[in-house]
Amino acid sequence: MKSIKLEDIEQISGKQIKGVDRFLFRCRPGLACFNQCCRNLNLFLYPYDVLQLKKALGISADVFLEEYVDVVMRKDNFFPDVLLRMSDDQEHACIFSDASGCRIYKDRPYTCRTFPVEYGLQYPAENRTPELIGFFRPPEFCLGPHEVHEWTLQTWSSDQGATKHQQMSRKWSQVKYLFQKNPWGHEGPQGNRAKMAFMASYNMDAFRGFVFESSLLKRYKVKTDLLKKIQRDDVALMLFGFDWIKLFVWGVPSKKIRLR
Ligand code: SF4
Ligand code: SF4
């Protein structure tokens, strides 16, 4: 989910959808375009996607990050993005795509669930709650918009099993929004602080070790019941990581964690 400043909104392509606005779309096997959209993509993965995918594949976060993704720093960004790696073949097909569709359909990432709608949070002004906005932008070859099935932003994400992804992505986008400014100083975005923030976002196996085996708990106060929870619950740990990043990098306090 993108974080969008009001002044940038007109630069984003696609039909804007908000609130009760409706759009026509249906994707199904049997359409001539079936599977064509699963290739040659910049497929962004959010922290919750990485958690779900490594669990579905039964591998560690280290292996997933090493073998399945590309980590890229976009121009004018100060936190890297994680993209699902495409295959090396001529079509650059998604590594999970085969003739029958998506091999990980039940666990597919957020972006795939809501395609061809990209969801974003529009930040109207300082200290105001951001508003959910969608950009409907099927590729030219996509036949889905010619099917008669009507959706709103809400019904579409619910139908695609994306509600939880959306909640998690919303929380992540609020962290990511902070990184429109450069917090790294002379260390730059390759320094140790940046590496730790990346770990706390995308690698829950390593972050759990860091929380419980480093001096972190000597420096930060965390409630006992939350500590018990994040020992076994990856999603709770990820959300705790978001709060830790806000405090560690930006000095923004939360109810979950504070300096001792
Ligand atoms: S191109 Fe559009 S309609 Fe065709 S498979 Fe992809 S999303 Fe579905
Ligand atoms: S993860 Fe699945 S739905 Fe997403 S691009 Fe790959 S094959 Fe397509």
Question: Is position 148 within any domain?
Answer: yes
Cα 227 to its chain centre, rounded Å, is 24
Give the pLDDT band of residue 245 (cuts 50, 70, 90).
Answer: very high
Question: Is position 177 within any domain?
Answer: no
Give the pLDDT band of residue 83 (cuts 50, 70, 90).
Answer: very high
- Give all strands (DSSP E) within the chain, no chain letters: 2-5, 15-17, 23-24, 44-45, 69-72, 81-84, 97-98, 101-102, 117-123, 131-136, 150-151, 220-222, 257-259
Question: Is position 171 within any domain?
Answer: no
pLDDT in tens, 221-230: 999 999 999 9
Q: What is the pLDDT of residue 22?
A: 96
Atom of ligand 1 nearest to the CA of 25: 3
Average pLDDT, the chain: 92
| Nearest-ligand number for the alpha carbon of 104 | 2
Is the same domain home to 156 and 191?
no
Peptide bond into 116 cis (omega under 30): yes
| Nearest-ligand number for the alpha carbon of 105 | 2
Q: What is the pLDDT of residue 131?
A: 83
Under 8 Å between Cβ of 162 and 154: no
Fill in the DSSP letter of residue 140.
T
Pocket test for ligand 2, best of 112, 113, 115 (most atoms within 8 A of CB): 112
Q: Which among 71, 96, 101, 76 has a CA at the least distance from the CA of 86?
A: 96
Is the same domain home to 139 and 38?
yes
pLDDT > 70? residue 175: yes
Is the same domain home to 145 and 209?
no
Is the same domain home to 137 and 195?
no
Is the same domain home to 155 and 200?
no
Pocket test for ligand 1, best of 28, 33, 113, 140 (most atoms within 8 A of CB): 33
Closest residue by Cα to atom 1, ligand 2, is 108
pLDDT > 60? residue 250: yes
Atom of ligand 2 nearest to the CA of 105: 2
Residue-number span of the structural domain to which 197 is assigned: 185-259
Pocket test for ligand 2, best of 43, 68, 83, 115 (most atoms within 8 A of CB): 43
Q: What is the pLDDT of residue 7?
A: 54
Question: Is position 65 within any domain?
Answer: yes
Say how many domains are in the chain. Answer: 2
Is the same domain home to 209 and 154?
no
Is the same domain home to 153 and 190?
no
Is the same domain home to 126 and 46?
yes
Check pocket membership of 37 for ligand 1, CB cut-off 6 A: yes
Give the pLDDT band of residue 120 (cuts 50, 70, 90).
Answer: confident
* Angle subtended at Cα 12 by Cα 158 and Cα 129, rounded to the nearest 5 degrees: 60
Question: Is position 67 within any domain?
Answer: yes
Is the same domain home to 66 and 147?
yes
Residues with CB under 6 Å of ligand 2 are 38, 43, 94, 96-97, 102, 104, 108-109, 112
Is the same domain home to 39 and 133?
yes
pLDDT > 70? residue 219: yes
Closest residue by Cα to atom 5, ligand 2, is 38
pLDDT in tens, 2-28: 655 555 655 667 889 998 999 999 999
Question: Is position 165 within any domain?
Answer: no
pLDDT in tens, 87-99: 998 989 999 999 8
28 CA to middle of ligand 1, Å?
A: 7
| Nearest-ligand number for the alpha carbon of 39 | 2
Is the same domain home to 9 and 117?
yes
pLDDT in tens, 56-80: 999 999 999 999 999 999 887 899 9
Question: Is position 176 within any domain?
Answer: no
